[in-house]
Amino acid sequence: MAGKKFLIIFFIFVLIVWIVDFRKSTSLNQDIDSGYLTKDLFLGNEILNVDIADTDEKRTLGLSGRNELNDRGMIFIFEDEAIRGFWMKDMLVSIDIVWIDSDGVILHIENNISPDSYPDVFQPNVPAKYVLETSANYTVEKGIQLGDKIENL
């Protein structure tokens, strides 16, 4: 009888640990350095950790003022699909910009945009719900192309 109780308690303990670990791996995290919530995006076989810009204030600030991205990015989340224009105001590093529809499909990519391009505005002629900014040439180095799908948006 004591053996059955032990097995039941052990099973419950393992289940709780598994649930906590699963929730931790799929939930949002707070980045201490940036103050942004972060999450992992899945681009084919690649995993990219991104800061989440989901308010007007965060979307306006974006990556401006950052000296490096350290193999990270930022995902801009909007309420609806629309033509989204981006510029390099107050940017210190070159980046790639990726426009994505509500299904996670990549619609347009601008590669290796320099801070010197300001005040030029970059935008596709198709509406997007998400915009991803990564370090310069990330899309080329990782083989990311139009039509690819990004998971975990």
What would the pLDDT profile of 41-64 be if each residue is shown by its tens digit? 999 889 999 999 999 999 999 999
Handedness of CA 27, 32, 34, 35 (dihedral sign): positive
Residue 81 in tokens? 């699909």
Taking the C-alpha atoms of residue 113 and residue 85, their distance in angstroms, rounded to an integer, is: 13
Whole-model pTM: value is 0.78
In this structure, CATH architecture of domain 31-151: Sandwich (2.60)
Mean pLDDT of 82-93: 95
With cut-offs at 50, 70 and 90, classify the pLDDT of residue 37.
very high
Q: Provide the CA 91 distance to its chain's centre, in angstroms.
A: 18
In the predicted model, is pLDDT for residue 100 greater than 70?
yes
Position 27 scores a pLDDT of 47
**Beta-bridge partner residues of 42:** 47, 151
**Domains of the chain by residue range:** 1-28, 31-151
Q: Choose among 110, 116, 115: nearest CA to 139.
A: 110
Q: Is the pLDDT confidence value at 84 over 70?
A: yes
Q: State how far the Cα of 33 lies from the Cα of 36, in Å rounded to an integer.
A: 8
